Structure formats: structure tokens, C-alpha cells
Amino acid sequence: MPYIAAFDIGTTSMKGVLLDRQANVHGACTVRLDTHYGPDGEIEQNPDDWWAGVKEIADKWWHTFAIDPTQVVGITFSGQMEDVISISNRETWAILYSDTRAVDEADWIQQTCPELQDAIGNTIRSSTPLAKLRWQQNHNPDKYERSSAFVFSAKDYIIYQLTNAVVTDPTTGATTGMMNLEKRQWELESLRKLDLDPAKLPALMEADETVGYVTEAAAGQTGFPELTPVVCGSGDAGASTIGAAAVHHGDSYFYIGTTGWAAVIRDNVQLREPIDGLFHLAHLPKKTNITIAPLLNAGNVHRWAVQTFASTGNVEDYETFENMVQASAPGSNGVLFLPYIHGERCPVHDAEAKGAFWGIGPTTTTSDFARAVMEGLSFSLKQIMDALTDDTVGTVTLIGGGTKSTSWCQMLADCIGRPIRVPTASEYMPVIGASTTAFIAMGWVKDYQDFTERFIMPAEATVYEPNLQRYEQYQAIYQRYVQLYPAMKGIDR
């Protein structure tokens, strides 16, 4: 039986699956990843950990699941974006998307080349790889010079390890601050103006293009047969969008992982948006874009709450936390929670924003705190979805690890007043979305719409219908919630 091997490299873990021609999942594996937090706000990972994860998953396929490696006919990926990863002969660390050390460099780029932002369709921020490259030039020029190239998604580093090809896809390219969104080409003139060497950039390839073949050296380390085709794949937002069956103008969905986002598909880009912090990315189907409202606070805050209110020692008790949430009535006994524990990018763009509880009284319980956390996260998602789309009817797809919390799924439906559709294999939908690129490359499907109609929309799913009484109740509470950040901003500054 022929298989597509698909890997999804996230922040806290990476996943690998094998898919047959009917998109059935085999050999699902997960490997945990470590992140380094430095004293000056550095947020980094070791790219060799990603490569070790690929080898570990492949080894499980061959020896635990007894898969014949020669049955793998193609390899593809999705991966975290906005990273800066050096291609160098020396060990190096990847600067992650959430690392915001390049504040001064982002300001300098905006002042030096103000026309760039209209071409790329996005705002240059401290998290933008272009600003981080400039930071490298200013603070670590030797490392910048000895790097033969840079890539900007974790999956591109793995492609390099497998094939020696230095490539990226347009979805990832759109996050770098260097790609013309409409033309899907590097903005070479602007880069030269900023004194950045375009020769250090990866080649831009479509997500469904074969970019190389497994080398003899990589075959020896992974067990994949030499000359197995390797497809470019997509940055995680593009793969997740396909996994949510969002391919047409107006389609929308939520993703809840360690961080999260809300997204809507558009045929064109609106440069003047109602809220700050939006991303405009090239979608996998050509001539379509994804408008994304990114959240720094999502599953990581859920996990923090579990650790804080429902854990004993080092054991995180999610079941106990779920019971606590359900033990408190909607409205959390008057307690509101602002979920900006890690700062925030959207609906407010404030790296110094803080989390807060408000409304604590003598009858407040730990269950009220637990429910308030989940309501605050749900209100945050509602706030960005309201800004992205005028739609007030229709089902919204929810994917990612956060869907394991049934109380959160129901609460979100109650907050937005729309049904929430959660695919049964929701946690693996991003990697299944990534596999679409190889299905097209191998000729197994015609295009992205063909794949979603045949394999994603018919897939088993749970639908959470909104409770209209709770919806009305949450509407009133939400009006108080949106006043929290403006009222508290500046208290600690």
C-alpha cells in the first residue's frame, strides 16, 4: 500500500502520520519539543531537535508499526513560521516567531523603507523575520556572514536536511516581511536598500511542488529510501486552513494550539483593517489569501490554568480542571479574566500586556477562576472573529489540540452564537492539510478543493450547537470584558 508521509512541526510537539490514497491516517506519532527562554527575552529552539524528531517518528513507523519504507512514495510538511533558522556548518539555534527582541530593528525598517509594507501586505513588527535578520547583522554579524542561507519555517530546515535544497513556500514567505504578497516574489530592491543579501534567501516554491529527493546521507539516517520525492509543503497556517476545509472566499475557522488564531479566506487583501495585528498570507490555492488574527494566548493559557488550579506535583490533571469549569455557572460568579499572560498580538498589539482577574468576591471559588479563564479565552476568540467577518450565521470549524476540551468547545459556541464543528481527528487536521500538497504532487487528487470535498468535509465530526439563553447572557458579559484591557492598560507602566 503506498503512503504519503506528512510531518507537522509545532512549538511544543511535532506530529507525523502516514496517509493512504483514501486519506486514512496510519502510524500517528507525536514527539515533544523543548523551547529555550533566555534572560533577555530570547525564545529559541534547537533545529537538530526537529531532525531528531523526524528520525524518531520514522523509526517507529519501520519498527513499531512494521511499515515497509519502500511504500512511502512522497514526503511533505507543515511547520511553525516566522522563525529565523541559519543554514550553517556550525550548530545554531532557531529564533522563534514569538521572540520579539528586534523592536529597534523593526522601527528602523519602517522608517528606512516605508513603502515595503504595502508590497508585503503586512506590518513590520519585532517578530518579523526581516527585523530579526537585521538584528543578527547588528548584534551577531559573524553568525550572519557565515550563514550560507536562512530559512523561515521549521519544515524548511527538515527539507534541507533531507535534500540539501534551500526552499520555502509562499505562505511562509508572506510572514517574512520580504515577499510581495500579490506577485509571490521576494522584494529584492527593498532588501538591497536595507543592506540585506538576497542570495541568502531560500527559493520560493509552490507548496505542491517537488523540491528535491532524499539524499543517500539522509536515507541512512531516517530509513526513507534514497530518491524518495520531497514536496515543499506549507507553513502551519496554510496547512491548517486546508485542514479546516477553508478554500473559498469567506470560509472561516478557529485554530487552538499552544497559541492560536482566527482566519478567513479572501480573494484580495484589505490593507486598512478594523483591528491591529492582522496577518495577510498567501493561501495554498493560487490567487487567494488568508487573513489571520493571531493569538499569543490560547492553549498555553489553558495549560497554565490547569497547572495552577488542578495539578498535583508535576501531574497536569485536565479532567479535574474540566470538572471545575463545569461546576461554575456561566459568568463565573461575576469573575472576568483577561488572558494576556504572554502579552498579545491581536485584538490588541501589546507585548507588555498582562493577564488579570477582575470581580473577585467573598464567594469566589477555584471553579469560578477556572471557568473565568476559559470564558476569557473564548471572548478573545469572539473579539477577533467579529472583526474579521460580518457573518453571524453558519458553522465555524475548530481545529487543534484545544478541541480536546469539550467544555471549551461548547463555551465557544455559546459565546459566538454559532455551531462549532470539531473534526474527530482535529488534532491532526493541520498535518492532514499538509498532506494535500503531496496528494496533488503525486496526482492522487486534482487540486485542493478536490481533496477537501473528498476527504475533509465528509470526515466524522462533532457539532456543538449554541445554547441561545447562554448566548444572550454572554453577550452582556462580553460587553464588560472588552472594557478590561483599556481600563487596565498602563497600570504597571
For residues 245 and 456, what is the distance between their CA atoms, to the nearest angstrom? 6
DSSP string, 394-459: S-EEEESGGGG-HHHHHHHHHHHTS-EEEETTGGGHHHHHHHHHHHHHTTSSSSHHHHIIIIITTS
Name the percent of the chain lying above pLDDT 90.
78
Does 390 score more than 80 pLDDT?
no
User: In this structure, are 54 and 156 located in the same domain?
Assistant: yes
Report the candidate in 298, 260, 214 with the shortest Cα–Cα distance to residue 430.
260
Domain boundary among 177, 197, 232: 232
Question: Does residue 449 form part of some domain?
Answer: no
Mapping DSSP to helix (H, G, I), strand (E, B) and coil, where does residue 70 land? helix
The domain boundary residue, chosen from 209, 232, 255: 232
Residues 189 and 254 in one domain: no
Q: Tens of pLDDT along 119-128?
A: 999 999 899 9
For 104-152, what is the HEC assignment?
A: HHHHHHHHHCCCHHHHHCCCCCCCCHHHHHHHHHHHCHHHHHHCCEEEC
Q: What is the CATH number of the domain that holds 486?
A: 3.30.420.40
- Please, are residues 77 and 158 in contact by the beta-carbon 8 Å criterion? yes
Q: Which of 211, 232, 253 is the last residue of a domain?
A: 232
Q: Which residues contact 35 (CB under 8 A, 6 or more apart)?
A: 11, 12, 43, 44, 45, 96
Q: Is residue 239 part of a domain?
A: no
Burial 362-387 (b: 16+ CB within 10 A, else e): eebeebbbbbbbbbbbbbbbbbbbbb
With CA atoms as reference, report the closest residue to 78 among 1, 147, 4, 144. 4
Q: Same domain, yes or no, for 265 and 378?
A: yes
Q: Is residue 240 part of a domain?
A: no
> What does the pLDDT read at residue 349?
83
Residue 140's domain comprises 3-232
Least confident of 123-127, 277-281, 432-436, 475-479: 277-281
pLDDT at residue 63 above 80?
Answer: yes
Q: What is the mean pLDDT of residues 39-58?
A: 94
- By the 8 A CB rule, do 301 and 377 touch? yes
C-alpha cell at 280: 495577510
Distance between CA 296 and CA 97 in Å, rounded? 10
Kindly state whether residues 347 and 386 are assigned to the same domain.
Answer: yes
Q: Are residues 279 and 166 in the same domain?
A: no
3-state secondary structure of 258: coil
Domain-embedded: residue 446: no
Whether 472 is in a domain gets the answer yes
Least confident interval from 50-64, 137-151, 234-248, 377-391: 377-391
| Predicted confidence (pLDDT) per residue in 245-257, tens digit | 999 888 889 989 8
What pLDDT, on the 0 to 100 scale, is given for residue 430?
83
359: its cell numbers: 470581580
**DSSP state string for 338-358:** EE-BTBBSSSS-BTT--EEEE
With pLDDT > 70 as the criterion, what percentage of the chain qualifies?
Answer: 97
Q: At which residue does the C-alpha cell 485536565 appear?
A: 318
Decide if 437 is inside a domain: no
Q: Is the pLDDT of residue 385 over 60?
A: yes
State whether 113 and 138 are in the same domain: yes
User: Is 310 in the same domain as 174?
Assistant: no
Kindly state whether residues 254 and 225 are assigned to the same domain.
Answer: no
Residue 201 pLDDT class (50, 70, 90 cuts): very high
**What pLDDT is recorded for position 144?**
93
pTM, two decimals, is: 0.84
Residues 310 and 346 in one domain: yes
Q: What average pLDDT does range 347-375 have in this prediction?
A: 95
Tell me: do 274 and 396 sit in the same domain: yes
341/13 Cα distance (integer angstroms): 21
Q: DSSP assignment, residue 332? A: G
Nearest C-alpha neighbor of 441 from the set 1, 2, 4: 4
Helix, strand and coil content of the chain, in percent to the nearest 5, comes to 40, 25, 40
In a domain, 321, yes or no: yes
* First-to-final CA distance of the chain: 61
Alpha helices (H) in 210-254, listed in sequence order? 216-222, 236-243
Span 13-39, mean pLDDT?
Answer: 95
What is the structure's pLDDT at 458?
Answer: 87
Instruction: Give the model confidence (pLDDT) of 291-343 as tens digits.
Output: 988 899 999 999 999 999 998 776 679 999 999 999 999 999 999 999 999 99
Backbone phi, then psi, for 87, in 5-degree steps?
-95, 105
Query: Is residue 127 included in any domain, yes or no?
Result: yes
Q: Specify the number of domains making up the chain.
A: 2
Least confident stretch, 15-24, 99-108, 239-248, 381-390: 381-390
403 CB-near residues (< 8 Å, 6+ apart): 256, 409, 422, 426, 427
Please name every residue paired with 43 in a beta bridge, in sequence order, or none if there are none: 37
Contacts of 314 (CB under 8 A, 6+ apart): none
- Residue 224 DSSP code: P
Same domain, 255 and 109: no
Query: How far, in Å, CA of 380 to CA of 347, rounded?
Result: 8
* pLDDT of amino acid 302: 97
Judgement on whether residues 146 and 40 belong to the same structural domain of the protein: yes
pLDDT band at residue 271 using 50, 70 and 90 as cut-offs:
low
| Range of lowest pLDDT (15-24, 65-74, 315-324, 432-441) | 315-324
For the ranges 58-72, 113-127, 193-207, 270-284, which has the lowest average pLDDT? 270-284
